[in-house]
């Protein structure tokens, strides 16, 4: 064998990254399409009210308590909470700042007592800024 034929069979050390880029772009498109569908939280039918949008003036993010029609409590992306678990979670959420706003989203069919228990849990934890949320989109229809 000549020297020239040995050099021609040398192994290629470069890795072909084109298939990896293709897979990455496909995954990016899939995540972009599915992300809006993956809204977390509780589906509630909020009451309609002629209100102005809420503005968070504090540096910290607001705590949002959701109350379902069946009386279950949710804070952010949490699972269903009992009244006692809600009180404990509110103590944790408001431990660093009592001025953090607390907004309560309640289904329009929820019993008044469940709404008041959510407000009481926030107030007992030291919340000084408690507000109720309504559905402003329904007003434009």
Q: Where are the domains positioned within the chain?
A: 3-37, 63-140
Asked if 94 contacts 126 with a C-beta cutoff of 8 angstroms, the reply is yes
pLDDT digits 0-9 by tens, 21-31: 999 999 999 98
Asked if 90 contacts 123 with a C-beta cutoff of 8 angstroms, the reply is no
CA–CA distance, 57 with 81 (Å, rounded to integer): 28
- The residue whose two tokens read 């705590």 is 63
> Which residue ranges in the chain fall short of pLDDT 50?
139
Q: Is 93 exposed, middle or buried (0-12, 13-18, 19+ CB in 10 A)?
A: buried
The confidence score (pLDDT) of residue 52 equals: 66
CATH class of 63-140: alpha beta
């Amino acid at each position: 064998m000549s020297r020239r034929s040995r050099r021609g069979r040398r192994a290629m050390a470069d890795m072909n990254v084109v298939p990896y880029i293709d897979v990455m772009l496909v995954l990016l498109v899939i995540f972009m399409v599915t992300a809006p569908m993956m809204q977390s939280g509780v589906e509630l039918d909020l009451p309609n009210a002629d209100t102005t949008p809420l503005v968070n003036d504090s540096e910290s993010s607001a705590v949002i308590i959701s109350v379902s029609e069946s009386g279950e409590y949710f804070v952010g992306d949490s699972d269903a909470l009992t009244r006692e678990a809600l009180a404990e979670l509110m103590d944790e959420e408001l431990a660093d700042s009592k001025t953090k706003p607390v907004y309560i989203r309640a289904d329009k069919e929820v019993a008044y007592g469940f709404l008041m228990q959510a407000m009481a849990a926030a107030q007992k934890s030291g919340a000084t800024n408690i507000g109720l949320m309504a559905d402003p989109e329904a007003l434009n229809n």
